[in-house]
């Protein structure tokens, strides 16, 4: 069946990237496009959906007569489904369709697909870089060098960092990202402990072991990296009591979600010296406000939530989404269907 597809794009999942992937699957598809200013303009809660960017009214106008919306971050709200009766599938280039009102989609009989694992490799590699940057304090030394100064005391025993080999690394969450980080840390010679109540033990490789409790992991790990999926139940799962359990001089890394960590507690631990260093790609608010303690606290490495940002991640997500749009065109079941009740109910 011939489809009329709207590409609702941005500056990461661009029109060119999505169109190239879709043309490879369905060369004769009718395509039109709109674009938001993300990431220049940050994502936000828009109407009833989360982590979205773009204008709902613009999307509704552009979707008239379209069967498919192929997007990354546009807000796919109840109003969109109500105003676009010809819409049959929404395909989101993300690990989860957080910017889609899934209940509304199901009520209107619209399939929603997504792209699980699209940036797992990028995020895992970024996490490894953040661990190394925090453990060896590379950005801080770089800035001193750029100032023209020479740190004559940088080799002092009380200032130098740790090695990975032979060290104890705790990985919270053994999903697509956490499992990759655990494998890389183990390959570097670390003793890797994993806490994940839902972990499949078969995913553990050499040098890795599951622990029964988060407390056990924290107490035995000098480097802790967080890779849990954010839920209402695990808000601030790492707060002052948990940081206090970590050995003095530890390093804490969060490249998962900002809600998992109490950043005020982390700042306190950095200022007191209990934490040797920290690295955060996900932040309590994005962008950070000018007065944030994270901008002045010592020995912290910050990046602007770019862990999953790679060309390969954008291209992989586009290919995953295009394949699920092709399934619709062929009358097949999409592989990555978020609301299977549309077909099975």
Q: Are residues 223 and 170 in contact, defined by beta-carbon separation less than 8 angstroms?
A: yes
Q: 11, 286, 293, 315: which one is catalytic?
A: 286
Q: DSSP class of residue 291?
A: T
Q: Let me know if 271 is a catalytic residue.
A: no
Would you list the DSSP string of 32-60?
EEEE--TTTSPPEEETTEEEE-S-HHHHH
C-alpha span between 127 and 80 (Å, rounded):
36
Residue 91 sits at φ, ψ, to 5 deg, of -115, 120
Q: Let me know if 336 is a catalytic residue.
A: no
Residue 192 gets the label, from left (phi > 0), alpha (psi -120 to 50) or beta, of beta
C-alpha span between 96 and 246 (Å, rounded):
32
Residue 16 sits at φ, ψ, to 5 deg, of -60, -45
Q: Are residues 293 and 264 in contact, defined by beta-carbon separation less than 8 angstroms?
A: yes
Q: 72, 305, 319, 336: which one is catalytic?
A: 305
Tokens of 329: 């065109």
C-alpha span between 80 and 60 (Å, rounded):
6
- The answer, yes or no, to whether the previous bond of 287 is cis (omega within 30 of 0) is yes
Q: Let me know if 257 is a catalytic residue.
A: yes
What separation in angstroms does the CA of 181 have from each of 110, 213, 271? 36, 19, 27
Tokens of 201: 């033990």
Q: What is the 3-state secondary structure (H, E, C) of 55-86?
A: CHHHHHHHCCCCCEEEECCCCECHHHHHHCCC
Tokens of 241: 């009591």
Helix or strand (DSSP H, E) at 279: strand 275-280
Q: Are residues 73 and 88 in contact, defined by beta-carbon separation less than 8 angstroms?
A: no
Q: 257, 299, 319, 336: which one is catalytic?
A: 257
* Residues carrying an active site annotation: 257, 286, 305
């Amino acid at each position: 069946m011939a489809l009329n597809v709207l590409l609702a794009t941005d500056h990461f999942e661009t029109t060119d990237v999505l169109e190239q992937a879709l043309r490879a699957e369905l060369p004769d598809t009718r395509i039109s496009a709109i674009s938001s200013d993300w990431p220049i303009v940050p994502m936000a809660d828009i109407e009833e959906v989360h982590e979205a960017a773009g204008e709902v009214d613009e999307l509704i106008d552009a979707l008239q007569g379209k069967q498919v919306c192929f997007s990354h971050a546009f807000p796919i709200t109840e109003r969109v489904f109500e105003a676009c009766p010809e819409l049959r599938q929404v395909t989101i280039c993300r690990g989860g369709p957080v910017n889609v009102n899934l209940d509304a989609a199901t009520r209107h009989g619209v399939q929603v697909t997504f792209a699980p694992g699209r940036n797992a490799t990028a995020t895992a590699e970024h996490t490894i870089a953040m661990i190394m940057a925090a453990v060896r304090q590379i950005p801080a030394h770089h800035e001193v060098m750029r100032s023209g100064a020479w740190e004559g005391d940088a080799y002092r025993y009380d200032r130098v960092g740790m090695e990975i080999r032979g060290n104890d690394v705790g990985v919270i969450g053994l999903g697509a990202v956490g499992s990759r980080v655990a494998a890389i840390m183990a390959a570097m010679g670390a003793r890797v402990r994993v806490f994940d109540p839902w972990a499949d033990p078969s995913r553990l490789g050499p040098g890795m072991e599951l622990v029964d409790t988060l407390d056990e992991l924290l107490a035995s790990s000098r480097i802790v990296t967080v890779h849990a999926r954010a839920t209402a139940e695990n808000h601030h799962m790492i707060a002052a009591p948990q940081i206090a359990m970590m050995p003095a001089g530890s390093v804490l890394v969060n490249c998962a979600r900002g809600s998992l960590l109490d950043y005020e507690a982390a700042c306190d631990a950095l200022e007191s010296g209990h934490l040797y260093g920290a690295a955060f790609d996900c932040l309590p608010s994005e962008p950070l406000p000018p007065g944030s303690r994270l901008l002045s606290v010592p020995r912290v490495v910050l990046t602007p939530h770019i862990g999953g940002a790679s060309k390969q991640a954008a291209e992989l997500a586009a290919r995953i989404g295009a394949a699920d749009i092709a399934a619709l065109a062929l009358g097949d079941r999409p592989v990555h269907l978020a609301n299977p009740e549309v077909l099975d109910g």
